[in-house]
Structure 1
Amino acid sequence: MTSEPSSPPAAAATPRRRSREELDALDSSFLARSLLLTGTLSGTANVIMQLANPAVGYGVARSTVENGRLDKHPIKRARTTLSYLAVAVLGNAEDRKRYRKAVTGQHAQVRSSGDSPVEYNAMNPELQRWVAACLYYGAEETYQLVYGPLEGADRERFYQQGMVLGTTLQMPAELWPEDRAAFERYWNEQVAKISISDEIRAFLLGVAWTEYAPERIRKRIAEDKYRRTIGYLPPVFRAALRVDWTATDQVWFDEYLAEAIRKERRRPLWVSQLGYRLLLWDVRVRYRMGRRLV
């Protein structure tokens, strides 16, 4: 790696701050090819990755915003989370501005109390950056599994579009690592800090095992969903979650993943994105009718 110049030009040290209007208008069409698929295939695993940051984990597990809790209102929480992805990558500037305002109303209520072992505040841009980084990581992995390697200018363009995952929330653009190499450094630094306490582990395993679903549904899907979720996790996150993953499990997951990739390669892109386009339509209708977005 070449060393940085000791006295970089002032313009390089202080990049131009983009207006919120510019950020909301960011193009994310390239990113959309895989991010929406990531939400469908490996969304639960990505949630676990996000919550491996202790502040995010306790913020979600101990949230007092009852109507936004996954374990108490799983259908609503799934809708609002997937709607956020739809707005971020398929919506326009107005959609993003409206959804950010709605999410802010929820996040502003999520703060640690005096008995929390970890201080957290859902409005913290650093925590939002971590959430966006996990989503981007999943999107890049999915893209390369389905469409092949991202290289050169394509990889950088894909990465820059990932900024919208944070700026659709409250993360300022300046927090998004400046290029893909900087993101790699940031990612490795953050992964080295992940920690899952017994309390958060129990919460996450409950999510992985679909414990919040009705029993008749749980009996049908829980075991396969759990194996898919753990299979999608990078090994370092499996270790932090302290779960067993055998060679037999890996063979099962590899076969499942190969079939999922084959199906996706045969499926027209518009079909893969149809559910998210319907969610975006739902967000717009809700706004016009004066109903809550989240």
Structure 2
Amino acid sequence: MGAANVIMQLSNPAVGQGVAHSRVRSGRLDVHPIKRTRTTLSYLAVAVLGTPDERRAYRRAVTRQHAQVRSDRDPRATEEYSALWVDLQKWVAACLFVGSRDVLDLVEGPQSAEVAERFLLEGRVFGTTLQMPPAVWPGSLVAFDAYWNAETAKLRVDDEVRSYLLDVARLGFAAGVLPERMRAWHQRLTIGFLPPEFRRALRVRWTDKDEEWFVRQRARLVRVERALPLAASSLVYRLLLADVRRRIRRGQPLV
């Protein structure tokens, strides 16, 4: 589901161009897939499991990288953007919240209204671990839904960003390493996890047969996740958080 969430984030035209055109090659998924994946998952680990000091340290590191991602440095830009803009970071955080909520509902079942509201307030950490002020985050699910509906109405994916996103879905950076059949499976599964409005923005065909296949695949993944002990499910994030803490102690780069 991670690749689907990346596509959701980049379906915002400004975010999409900012990432697809980024000259910060050390942070590009298509150039350094392992490093980029580690950085992203480490950010999630720090946001959810880290201390306030660790979040501040990660925020400073990300800010230095984001300061270089601006449309005035991009001759191909048709959208104005800066990776430091709060509204774009709010959108990224909202996508991460929606993805987390969907996983929680799939694995544990629909949450009560009280739990859902509390989960929303906890979800603002996805933005505040970047540069988003806490006050910007919607204070209720009603406010969040209004924001989400307004933003998804603006989705637009140009041809260049579309090519980039489909390559992400198909794990193009792993061509020659992973079998073509596995990469095709990942692409189809990724498209399945996208809400319909994102599929439309991406201009991908999705049939009833595709949906039936996806529902079966998703059910298998949910069964596996439910069978795993919590310690196993969270192992990768706990290891990455330990790595972040080691890097902080040694004064090494975090991103």
**Shorter-normalised TM-score: what interval?**
over 0.9
Q: CA deviation at 1:166?
A: 0.4
Q: CA deviation at 1:254?
A: 0.8
Whether 2:163 is the aligned partner of 1:202: answer yes
Q: CA deviation at 1:220?
A: 5.0
What is the number of equivalent residue pairs in this alignment? 253
Q: Deviations over 1:78-107 (max 9, x none)?
A: 000000000000111111011001000100
Question: Distance between the aligned counterparts of 1:233 and 1:46, measured in 2?
Answer: 8
Corresponding residue of 1:51: 10
Regions of 4+ moved over 4 Å: none
Q: TM-score, normalised by structure 2?
A: 0.97
Corresponding residue of 1:290: 251
Q: Over alpha carbons, which structure has the higher Rg?
A: 1
Corresponding residue of 2:128: 167
Q: CA deviation at 1:248?
A: 1.9
Whether 2:37 is the aligned partner of 1:67: answer no
Q: CA deviation at 1:221?
A: 2.1
Question: Distance between the aligned counterparts of 1:150 and 1:195, measured in 2?
Answer: 31
Corresponding residue of 2:225: 264
Corresponding residue of 1:92: 51
Measured at CA, do residues 163 and 147 of structure 1 come closer, stay the same or move farther in structure 2, by a change above 3 Å?
A: same
Name the aligned partner's letter for residue 58 of structure 2: Y
Question: Distance between the aligned counterparts of 2:67 and 2:190, measured in 1?
Answer: 30
1:113-124 aligned at under 5 Å gives the runs 113-124=74-85
Task: Give me the CA root mean square deviation.
Answer: 1.0
User: Mean Cα displacement is larger for which, 215-224 or 143-152?
Assistant: 215-224
Question: Distance between the aligned counterparts of 1:218 and 1:211, measured in 2?
Answer: 11
> What 5-or-longer segments of structure 1 have no aligned partner?
1-41
Question: Distance between the aligned counterparts of 1:216 and 1:203, measured in 2?
Answer: 19
Q: CA deviation at 1:214?
A: 3.9
Whether 2:227 is the aligned partner of 1:249: answer no
Would you say the 8 A contact 1:210–1:218 is kept in 2? no
1:228-247 aligned at under 5 Å gives the runs 228-247=189-208
Whether 2:27 is the aligned partner of 1:82: answer no
Q: Deviations over 1:154-192 (max 9, x none)?
A: 111111100101000000011101111100000000000
Q: CA deviation at 1:289?
A: 1.7
Corresponding residue of 1:33: none
Question: Distance between the aligned counterparts of 2:90 and 2:47, measured in 1?
Answer: 14
Q: Deviations over 1:109-150 (max 9, x none)?
A: 100134411111000010000000000011111111110111
Q: Deviations over 1:5-27 (max 9, x none)?
A: xxxxxxxxxxxxxxxxxxxxxxx
SS in 2 for 1:263: helix
Q: CA deviation at 1:222?
A: 0.6
